[in-house]
Amino acid sequence: MIRLERRPTPSRFWTGATPVLAVIATMIAGGILFAALGKNPVEAIRTIFWDPLFGQFASYSRPQLLVKAAPLILIAVGLSFGFRAGIWNIGAEGQYIIGAIFGAAMALAFYPMDAVIVFPLMVLAGAAGGLAWAMIPAVLKIRFNTSEILVSLMLVYVAGHILSAMAFGALRNPEGMGFPGSRNLQQYPAAHNAELIAGSGLHWGTVTAFLAVIVAYVVMQRHILGFQIRVAGEAPRAARFAGVNPARLTAICLGTSGALAGLAGLFEVSGPSGQITPDFASGYGFTAIIVAFLGRLNPLGILLAGLLMALTYIGGELAQLTLALPAAAIQAFQGMLLFFLLAFDMLSNFRIRIGRPEGAQ
């Protein structure tokens, strides 16, 4: 009989090896899928995983990987704090939206004033928006013991409707010929989150994402807060004795993830996206949850997972363009990759034993 036995601590070897195994397994399963669709599987896999990095136009797509991965990483790093402490913010999408709305509203309030202060104020507004939106589930949890999973999820839909109302109402571009959507912040220099070095993919959002990874790593390893978070997640009862204040921890974890998600929204709306439109939200907040888990809730892991996720998006686009693979096949392929990564994760936390356990009835 095969059974699983929980490891006392996650295996270091398997923690590193499982992502590689999962990617290989996905390549095999995906190859079968692509072959079934009548495409050359080797070519398809190469287009998705290789071409964006080393293909003919990699000089363009490599920086784009950073642009695409930045919001994912920024949000996922924030989420990882809470997830480690057993505090489940799954409403990052809503915090991302509200951060973008706050930031864009700040910019539009100053339009067309050309002042250095505009962008920093937008950054503050974006973080404050995300923070405020995340504090709703935090306060309700602290005060009424309401499930933060469910409240934060509900608030995503509310944020979506607010976004639509803003794009059609308060933030609508007065010179937009009656179409929905705000002014394009890319055309408002004081508010534009432009690339810091042209063609590098580095804008303030990418930089902040990298900073967040480093800070999160240090906090988690070296700071008392990191210790408290880990204790709260692994041994909630012991945490009380260790002097962890659960209300404070809830507020910190939800607040941090909300502020970072809000920042991600702000950097996106002022940079790559440029506008508040009814379709501004494209699921980064949800994808980031997956990224957080793929990265094993570890900041460095999240960095790699975010880049891997971005690779499948951009590689998937290339595969559509050059091989005429349907977008649906790419979506299913991404789904498979996630399944394999999640399934193989077991190997790092469990040992597979063959035979009956000792002392079993």
Identify the DSSP state of 4: E
The token pair that represents 195 in the structure block: 């690339």
Q: Does 178 bind another protein (CB under 8 A)?
A: yes
Binds another protein (CB under 8 A): choice among 39, 68, 84, 192:
68
- Is the CB of 30 or the CB of 262 nearer to another protein? 30
Q: H or E element: which one contains 151? A: helix 148-168
Query: Cα–Cα distances in Å, from 151 out to 43, 144, 145, 285?
Result: 45, 12, 11, 15
Binds another protein (CB under 8 A): choice among 69, 90, 190, 308:
90
Q: Does 164 bind another protein (CB under 8 A)?
A: yes
Who's near 227: CB < 8 A, 6+ residues apart? 242
Q: Which of 54, 105, 96 is nearest to 72 (CA)?
A: 96
- Is the CB of 53 or the CB of 215 nearer to another protein? 53
Q: Which residues between 21 and 40 bind another protein (CB under 8 A)?
A: 37
Binds another protein (CB under 8 A): choice among 82, 129, 130, 180:
180
Q: Does 270 bind another protein (CB under 8 A)?
A: no
For the CA atoms of 28, 33, 34, 35, what is the dihedral angle to 10 degrees? 90
- Is the CB of 29 or the CB of 215 nearer to another protein? 29
Q: Does 284 bind another protein (CB under 8 A)?
A: no
Q: Does 54 bind another protein (CB under 8 A)?
A: no
Binds another protein (CB under 8 A): choice among 50, 110, 111, 168:
168
Is residue 239 packed enough to be buried (19+ CB in 10 Å), middle (13-18) or exposed (0-12)? buried
Q: Does 157 bind another protein (CB under 8 A)?
A: yes
Binds another protein (CB under 8 A): choice among 182, 268, 302, 311:
268
Residue 99 beta carbon to another protein: minimum distance, rounded to whole angstroms: 16
Round to whole Å and give the CA distance between 354 and 21: 22
- Is the CB of 120 or the CB of 335 nearer to another protein? 335
- Is the CB of 144 or the CB of 243 nearer to another protein? 144
Binds another protein (CB under 8 A): choice among 158, 207, 215, 304:
158
3-class state of residue 37 by DSSP: coil
Instruction: Choose one: 18-26, 41-49, 51-59, 232-240; the region binding another protein (CB under 8 A).
Output: 51-59
- Is the CB of 61 or the CB of 250 nearer to another protein? 61
Q: H or E element: which one contains 353? A: strand 350-354
3-class state of residue 89 by DSSP: coil
- Is the CB of 215 or the CB of 349 nearer to another protein? 349
Instruction: Choose one: 101-109, 124-132, 255-263, 331-339; the region binding another protein (CB under 8 A).
Output: 331-339
Q: H or E element: which one contains 81? A: helix 58-85
- Is the CB of 6 or the CB of 12 nearer to another protein? 6
Instruction: Choose one: 123-131, 215-223, 247-255, 278-286; the region binding another protein (CB under 8 A).
Output: 278-286
Binds another protein (CB under 8 A): choice among 20, 24, 28, 147:
147
Residue 224 beta carbon to another protein: minimum distance, rounded to whole angstroms: 26
Angle (CA) 329-333-337 rounded to 5° is 175
Instruction: Choose one: 114-122, 139-147, 217-225, 234-242; the region binding another protein (CB under 8 A).
Output: 139-147
Q: H or E element: which one contains 127? A: helix 118-144
Query: Cα–Cα distances in Å, from 355 out to 6, 7, 351?
Result: 15, 17, 12
Binds another protein (CB under 8 A): choice among 44, 45, 138, 153:
153
Instruction: Choose one: 15-23, 107-115, 256-264, 344-352; the region binding another protein (CB under 8 A).
Output: 344-352
Q: Does 151 bind another protein (CB under 8 A)?
A: yes
Q: Contact, 75 vs 285, CB < 8 A?
A: yes
3-class state of residue 117 by DSSP: coil
List of long-range contacts for 22-29, beta carbons under 8 Å, 24+ apart: 22/337, 22/340, 22/341, 22/343, 22/344, 23/49, 23/308, 23/337, 23/340, 23/341, 25/340, 25/344, 26/333, 26/336, 26/337, 26/340, 29/336, 29/340
